[in-house]
Amino acid sequence: MFVRVFHYIMKMAMYVIPWGMPKLIEGEDSILQLPEVIYKNGNRRVLVVADPFLTNNGYLQPLLDKMSELQLSYVIFSEVSPNPLDTEVENGVKMYIENNCDSLVAFGGGSPMDCAKAIGARVAKPKKSISQLQGLYRVLKKIPTLYAVPTTSGTGSETTVAAVITEASTHHKASINDNCLMPKYAVLDPKLTVSVPKRVTAITGLDALSHAVEAYTNHMYNTKLENDLAKKAVRLVYDYLYKAYEDGNNIDARSHMQKAAFYAGRAFTRGCVGNVHAIGHTLSGLYGMAHGEAMGILLPHVMRAYGEPVYKYLADLADVCNMCNGGTIKEKAEAFIVWIEELKEKMGVSVYPTCICESDIDQMVNWAFKEAVPLYPTPVVWKKEDYAKFIYSLMK
């Protein structure tokens, strides 16, 4: 009862929060338009946050060359791991301050974007640590202008208000959530995603799917906009993820998957995620599992565990994808879950996690429960014993 009352209060509060979306720069080679936008906004000294692979293999060079043409100075911070750490954020803050930067470009997947957001939050709140900023609305101050350039199609971080950071000393993974973290601009250039390996295409696409499905099945905080965006994202994943996986050079599929991630990201920004993420974050934090892989593994299991309360919503998504000709709501819901499982199998994504140690389950339960309850408006409210039972069921 307490949790549902909390959800109702949050739903009312959502109507006074100024939701928005980044300004989009999109299309092939749209990355080359970004430096002019940066210049026109009055920014002159940019901290570019990217992962080591992108930095070392020349992916940044066209952007950097164009920035140099406009006499924009920049420094590159590439100390970003797949699950960014609070210690990495602090090093980025130091580089930002030492070079008198006035803006941030996040270039890459969700990790550089989360790291860049957290750097911005720390710059805005220099007396607060990452752990003190994690939670709801603990920044509440304008951060440096943030430009987001996704090179994968999954996290939707280019349109979200969250930055997920892992504490190096404890491996606890948690979010900073504040509207000020939403990027001001997002660049959706499909050419930046054509070289993404098959495995990364698969797990990032499943991450986008998880965002959309969890946002839609949560339903309580949503308006028509979030519901529509979630449905659009699911249909795009249904139509284009496997095409992008099979042929990385398929620009049309890559472009549509970028939109899927963007729509899903905006949908869960208000609608929230759920137990797929709450439990998945423990797998990433404790075992270093890639975020998208954790989402892909857990999504069908969590939806099945919810049972009847999600049948209607999963049936809606099945109808959006024209999966079934008739059938009951339960049959349609099952068809949708089976489609996820079959898609995972075709892309070589594991059915169960193999990394869980029984000795860690109490910690996983505590972290997942703390993350999800009472914030996430999940269709079924789980107690700690429900989390434990579910996690044990994954140990096949």
CA angle in degrees (0–180, nearest 5) for 64-69-70? 100
- Last residue of one domain, picked from the residues 163, 193, 223: 193
Closest CA to 29 of 255, 265, 262: 255
Q: Are 18 and 161 contacting, i.e. CB atoms less than 8 angstroms apart?
A: no
Instruction: Identify whether residues 286 and 325 lie together within a single domain.
Output: yes
Whether residue 272 lies inside any domain: the answer is: yes
Question: What was the pLDDT predicted at 140?
Answer: 94
Look up the CATH number of the domain holding residue 166: 3.40.50.1970
Closest CA to 123 of 149, 147, 151, 103: 103
Residue 98 burial (C-beta neighbours within 10 Å; 0-12, 13-18, 19+): exposed
Instruction: Identify whether residues 272 and 306 lie together within a single domain.
Output: yes
Domain count, the chain: 2
Instruction: Identify whether residues 210 and 75 lie together within a single domain.
Output: no
Instruction: Identify whether residues 327 and 277 lie together within a single domain.
Output: yes
Whether residue 294 lies inside any domain: the answer is: yes
Instruction: Identify whether residues 339 and 356 lie together within a single domain.
Output: yes
Whether residue 12 lies inside any domain: the answer is: no
Question: What was the pLDDT predicted at 18?
Answer: 85
Instruction: Identify whether residues 275 and 302 lie together within a single domain.
Output: yes
Whether residue 45 lies inside any domain: the answer is: yes
How far is it, in rounded angstroms, from Cα 48 to Cα 77? 6
Can you give the pLDDT of all 396 residues of the chain as single tens digits? 899 999 999 999 999 888 889 999 999 999 999 999 999 999 999 999 999 999 999 999 999 999 999 999 999 999 999 999 999 999 999 999 999 999 999 999 999 999 999 999 999 999 999 999 999 899 999 999 999 999 999 999 999 999 999 999 999 999 999 999 999 999 999 999 999 999 999 999 999 999 999 999 999 999 999 999 999 999 999 999 999 999 999 999 999 999 999 999 999 999 999 999 999 999 999 999 999 999 999 999 999 999 999 999 999 999 999 998 889 999 999 999 999 999 999 999 999 999 999 999 999 999 999 999 999 999 999 999 999 999 999 997
Whether residue 5 lies inside any domain: the answer is: no
- Last residue of one domain, picked from the residues 193, 222, 257: 193
Instruction: Identify whether residues 264 and 318 lie together within a single domain.
Output: yes
Whose tokens are 């797949």? That residue is: 82
Whose tokens are 């519901």? That residue is: 227
Whether residue 6 lies inside any domain: the answer is: no
Question: What was the pLDDT predicted at 36?
Answer: 98
Instruction: Identify whether residues 131 and 216 lie together within a single domain.
Output: no
Domain span holding position 289: 198-393
Whether residue 3 lies inside any domain: the answer is: no
Instruction: Identify whether residues 291 and 159 lie together within a single domain.
Output: no
Cβ-defined contacts of 302-305 (< 8 Å, 24+):
302/274, 302/275, 302/276, 302/390, 303/213, 303/217, 303/333, 303/337, 303/340, 304/337, 305/380, 305/390, 305/393
Instruction: Identify whether residues 186 and 209 lie together within a single domain.
Output: no
Q: What is the pTM of this model?
A: 0.93
Look up the CATH number of the domain holding residue 352: 1.20.1090.10
Instruction: Identify whether residues 101 and 55 lie together within a single domain.
Output: yes
Q: Are 184 and 147 contacting, i.e. CB atoms less than 8 angstroms apart?
A: yes
Residue 61 burial (C-beta neighbours within 10 Å; 0-12, 13-18, 19+): exposed
How far is it, in rounded angstroms, from Cα 181 to Cα 13? 19
Whether residue 187 lies inside any domain: the answer is: yes
Residue 87 burial (C-beta neighbours within 10 Å; 0-12, 13-18, 19+): middle
- Last residue of one domain, picked from the residues 126, 159, 193: 193
Instruction: Identify whether residues 121 and 234 lie together within a single domain.
Output: no
